[in-house]
Amino acid sequence: MNQVYAMRVFCSLVEAKGFSAAAERMATTHSTISRQVQHLEAALGARLVNRNTRKLSLTGAGEQYYQACLDILRRIDAAALAVADEQAQPTGLLRVSAPLSIGTLEIGGWLPPFQARYPGIHIDLCCDDQFIDLVEGRFDVALRISAPLADSSLVARELTLSEQILVAAPAYVMRHGLVRGVEGLAQHRLLAYAPGGAAVAWALARGDGAPLAVDPAGALRADTITALYGAALAGAGIAMLTRATVQADLLAGRLVHVLPQYSGGQRRYYAVYPNAQHLPAKVRVFVEFMREYYAQAAQPA
């Protein structure tokens, strides 16, 4: 027995004051109304309706149950309406896990316009370069930058592909000169990403050519992208960063593109969330907004 449906049938019976009228009101049959009431009475172990007269009347238990049903059904309908309203105008707390580079370097680009578009959503942002367990950490969505993600129980929505490029501050180029080909990098101060202590090699390719490996260990090794970004901006050397991270700096002239004919490969930006079924509106609009944002941010300067 669908108890909620049976409760609605019972309330309709009371308000229509008859089985036939209730059947018409519920777009069903007289026998269906009668059967639903019988199921309720059997489940409750009490008679709800007096059937021994031509006029319908409630027993004492029936009157009490009717009032309780009205209260329960109002609460159910109010909850459904609240969810529908939230879907129409997303609101509430959105817990987001993101790498440090997004949380510190890119947040200024996307957070203000997102807040302006969805003022009812409040973001709780946790920044960490380690992969966080979304379910255990009670996160609604995570932003990740990686190679293609392995299959998992999580849903991964690709936001954009962002090219890895070499950048340096104009002041650095003024002091040390232009880089003359990949071989010329050996004469420059290179800033290496070293998450485990060992520098991650650069694989630089020109067009469809084979990539050339470069060991960037030299002027600085750091285990966070934010440190490399800060060092590059300060003129300490040449760093490899995603275009999405440095796009605003390239446009503003704070950084310049070094060896623009070479690419360090692509990094994928993902939005990851625990379950695609009944996706909350606040998560859905956030993911769509980030797709729009990165589609613009990844465009060449």
Where residue 196 falls among pLDDT bands split at 50, 70, 90?
confident
Tell me: pLDDT of 106 over 70: yes
Same domain, 61 and 153: no
**50 near 56, Cβ under 8 Å?**
yes
- pLDDT tens-digit series, residues 277-289: 678 889 999 999 9
User: Average pLDDT, stretch 167-193?
Assistant: 94
Q: How many domains does the chain divide into?
A: 3
Phi first, then psi, for residue 265 (nearest 5°) are: 95, 180
Q: Which domain holds residue 40?
A: 3-88
Tell me: pLDDT of 202 over 60: yes
Tell me: pLDDT of 54 over 80: no
Q: How far apart are CA 108 and CA 102, in angstroms?
A: 9
CATH number of residue 193's parent domain? 3.40.190.290
User: Average pLDDT, stretch 14-32?
Assistant: 89
Same domain, 173 and 250: yes
Same domain, 145 and 134: yes
**300 near 242, Cβ under 8 Å?**
no
Residue of 114, 55, 60, 131 lying closest to 290 (CA atoms): 114
- pLDDT tens-digit series, residues 229-264: 999 999 999 999 998 889 889 999 999 999 999 999
Q: How far apart are CA 180 and CA 76, in angstroms?
A: 70
Where residue 87 falls among pLDDT bands split at 50, 70, 90?
low
User: Average pLDDT, stretch 138-153?
Assistant: 78
**Tokens 């909620």 appear where?**
4
SS3 133: coil
